[in-house]
Amino acid sequence: MIAAIADDFTGAAEIGGIGLRHGMDVIIETGGLSLIPADLIVIAANTRSLEAEKASEIISDITMKLQRLNPLFIYKKIDSVLRGHVSDELHAQMLSSGKSRSIVVAANPGLNRIIKNGVYYINNIPLNKTGFSMDPEFPVSSAMIKEIVGDNSVITGMKPGDQLTGKGIIIGDATGLEDLQKWARQIDDNTIPAGGSGFFDAMLKELQISANNASLHSAPFGEKVLFVLGSAFPKDDVLLRKIEESGHYLSNMPEEIYFNQHYERRLLRDWAEDIIKGIQRHKRVIASIIHTPSDEHGLSKRIVEDIGKLIKMVAGNTELNELIIEGGSTTASVLEQLKIKKLIPIHELDTGVIRMRIEGMRGLCLTTKPGSYSWPDIVWLLKDTVSSK
């Protein structure tokens, strides 16, 4: 058995998708640790938006509980561009597990995300010159790894094959897929492997876990579908055009909610009612938050909480077959409101785009992706994949 801890839900789902790709039975847990056997157990810790001290406490607790299951290793899934409390959480995991070193490979060359000489690039552009500079919670002001994680003690600029130090956090360079594999060979019993989904995939390949041959386009979607575009990551023109062309009913957050933190609660109920009617009449609805940016302090956190309450109202008053959500924080809020604790990944539609069965909620599946990833066309072209009812 292998275990993984992710700091947000979409990261956990992405790791689950990698496990599926390798033919593993996967369970994703959000509310504690059960004893249900699985090849891969992924814990969605949802610590990224917490204070560093609280996040570290949660990681310590999860690590100690997972160790009782005697996993082959515990992977620490972090944000691929190092947002969150990367250093604090890794120090907590090392202390709790008795390990003195962590090798972090956050780069994912398969997605054109590389680290070279301790500097992060996406499509050969320094990270601080990309859209991540506008992240509402963790705006990136530098492409230097040490400055991104805010910890001068981390070791950067090392390449796979370099002489390793015995202690500390190493955030390694990786400019190609072969680098991920080389780093995977350097993990020993005293080292916590950490990073993005690409490095986890390399770890499983190093263990020679057989891959399955499931088609990425074999998942039949249900008929009544609700998309939630809740991520704060900017929506590009291509996505908006696909929404318009796909014929979905678009229900945008009312301005009175978005621009007023003290809005009347009935407005949220009215929005939920609009979505419910849209599902009943059109079957496919997109709940979006497309507005000019607001300078309200804490807006992102408030919107995430509002979306969770909104989806609870909708799910409690109409039938849903598919819930498709963008963004880890938004997904976590929805799962909390719906009291969802355990999910079983069933299809990897694309890298990071994972479809899951929800334990205890027969007939409803959840699909998620990180906010910065693109939706594959299969999600929008449901007419080609909808199962007959």
Q: 202-213, pLDDT tens digit by residue?
A: 999 998 876 554
**Over residues 294-302, mean pLDDT:** 85
pLDDT over 80 at 266, yes or no: yes
How many other C-beta atoms lie within 10 A of the C-beta of residue 169?
22
Report how far residue 376's alpha carbon sits from residue 349's, in angstroms, rounded to the nearest whole number.
8
Contact indicator for 350, 368 with CB cutoff of 8 Å: no
Q: Band of the pLDDT at 231, cuts 50, 70, 90?
A: low
- If one compares 242 and 46, the residue with the highest pLDDT of the two is 46
**Over residues 51-73, mean pLDDT:** 95
Predicted confidence at residue 209, as pLDDT, reads: 77
Dihedral-angle region of residue 82 (phi above 0 means left; psi in -120 to 50 means alpha; beta otherwise)? left
Domain ranges in the chain are 2-206, 225-384
Report how far residue 91's alpha carbon sits from residue 151's, in angstroms, rounded to the nearest whole number.
11
Predicted confidence at residue 7, as pLDDT, reads: 94
Tokens 């027969």 correspond to: 362
Q: Which two tokens stand for residue 217?
A: 């386009």
Q: Among 363, 367, 388, which residue's Cα sits nearest to residue 378?
A: 367
Beta bridge partners of 284: 225
- Per DSSP, helices labelled H in the chain are 9-21, 52-67, 86-97, 145-149, 177-184, 197-206, 237-246, 255-258, 266-282, 299-315, 328-337, 377-380
Report how far residue 373's alpha carbon sits from residue 389's, in angstroms, rounded to the nearest whole number.
31
Question: How far lies 233's CA from each of 87, 94, 346, in Å?
Answer: 24, 32, 26
**Over residues 162-174, mean pLDDT:** 93
Confidence (pTM):
0.89
pLDDT over 90 at 43, yes or no: yes
CATH of domain 2-206: 3.40.50.10840
CATH of domain 225-384: 3.40.980.20
How many other C-beta atoms lie within 10 A of the C-beta of residue 335?
24
The 3 state secondary structure assigned to 112-142 is: CEEEECCEEEECCEEHHHCHHHHCCCCCCCC
**Over residues 71-89, mean pLDDT:** 95
